[in-house]
Amino acid sequence: MNAFFYRSASGWVACILTVVAMLLPYLLRSGRLSQALGFGPSRDVPYLRRMWPHYWTGYLALGLSFYHAWVSMAPGPLPRTSLAGLWLGTFGLLLLFVQFLLGLVLQQSRGPNAVTRGLHFWSMVGILVLVFVHVALNGPLPLLRVAGARISLQSFVL
Amino acid sequence: MNTDPGTKTRSGRKAWVAFIAVVVAVAAFAIWKSASVSRSMAAAAASDERQFSESTPGSKTKFVMEIGEVTVEKIIRGKLLQKKTEELYTRTTTPVRVQSSEKASVVMGTLADVKAGAIVHIAGTVQNDHSVQAEQIVILTGYVKVQ
């Protein structure tokens, strides 16, 4: 396998894990969404203890994203691609680190922590947007390419 | 409405199994797709002067070329590239003529990337005049170096 495989596979799997990590808190909470989808989490176990899949998926997503950035920056030919997209991807990775730290704070918190929870939520929204634009600009997303949106997104960001 | 705890647990378990299955399937597809594009890009196959010149009409061929020009009739002319390492190719003097069409799939780029100076991997069928009818064009520009 060549560098492209490691770069591409790690990027896509990191994307999938990031989305899964974002969904898990909503599925693990005894809310309307989790009930409607039939997940029905047990109320016997405290919410923060039920959240272990979210924590581990988050750690994996962060690790893989870091690996993805590492292999992308490794010496070798660099494909002609959007520089703005690479910067947005880098900001997305930094925000993932921030998200990881906020998550640790929330994991350790004993009482309500609205400010940190708010930051954790908006940081998630930021990551989602940055990852989407990074994939649209730098990844081989056929739909965006066919629609010509790749070019328009590039001109928008640049 | 059934509120039996046993039924709820079973339905919850089913939902989690379905969720995990979907995630694993999507991840497996992403890895498979990356591997398949990566294999196309590895492109070793027949990127070799001798193999290319010996290919017979009707046979399938794969090679890497540097595009010299693309005509309005979608004829791609250029020079065959010889593979040295995974990401390094050397120029040869062997001319290559490729007929592209709407049916040819373009991987890792769009038709707009098929232009003079581009490095592409062609998979197609050898014609009687030794030109090649392209079935797949992989854009390698930027991914490989040419000496």
In this prediction the ipTM stands at 0.74
Indicate the pLDDT class of residue B72, thresholds 50, 70 and 90. confident
Sign of CA dihedral B54, B60, B65, B70: positive
- The candidate with the shortest Cα–Cα distance to A89, out of A54, A43, A142, A131, is A131
Tokens matching residue A109: 């918190």
| pLDDT higher than 90, residue B24 | yes
Q: pLDDT-based confidence at B46, cuts 50/70/90?
A: very low
Q: For residue A78, which residues of chain B lie inside 8 Å, CB to CB?
A: 142
Question: How far is Cα B132 from Cα B13, in angstroms, rounded to an integer?
Answer: 55
**H or E, element range at A152:** helix A149-157
Q: Looking at chain B, which residue has its C-alpha nearest residue A34? A: B12
Q: A30 in helix, strand or coil?
A: coil
Residue A58, H or E segment = helix A52-73
pLDDT digits (tens, 9 = 90+) for B83-130: 887 778 888 888 999 998 878 888 777 788 888 999 998 988 888 888
B13 part of contact set with chain A, CB < 8 Å? no
Residues of B in contact with A27 (CB under 8 A): 19
Partner residue facing B15 (CB), from A39, A42, A78 = A39
Helices marked H in chain B: 5-42, 49-54
Position B8 scores a pLDDT of 60
Q: Enter the pTM of the model.
A: 0.66
Per-residue pLDDT of chain A (158 residues; tens, 9 = 90+): 577 788 889 999 999 999 999 999 988 887 777 777 777 766 777 878 888 999 999 999 999 999 999 888 776 655 666 778 888 999 999 999 999 999 999 988 877 788 999 999 999 999 999 999 898 888 765 434 433 434 333 333 33
Exposed e or buried b for every residue in A130-150, given b needs 16+ CB within 10 A?
bbbbbbbbbbbeeebbeeeeb
Q: Which residues pair with B67 in a beta bridge?
A: B78
Q: Is the pLDDT of residue B9 over 70?
A: no
For residues A53 and A21, give the distance between their C-alpha atoms in angstroms, rounded to a whole number: 8
Instruction: Determine contact: B56 vs chain A, CB below 8 A.
Output: no
Report phi then psi at A45, rounded to 5. -95, 135
Tokens representing B77 are 């002319």
Under 8 Å between Cβ of B121 and B137: yes
A5 Cα to chain B: minimum distance (Å): 5
Query: Among B9, B26, B35, whose Cβ lies nearest the Cβ of A16?
Result: B26
For residues A149 and B22, the model is more confident at B22
For residue B91, what are the β-bridge partners?
A: B81
Residues in contact with A17: Cβ distance below 8 Å, sequence separation at least 6, in sequence order: A57, A60, A61, A64
B110 neighbourhood in chain A, CB within 8 Å: 145-146
Residue A60 to residues A53, A103, B1, B81, Cα–Cα distance (Å): 10, 14, 39, 40
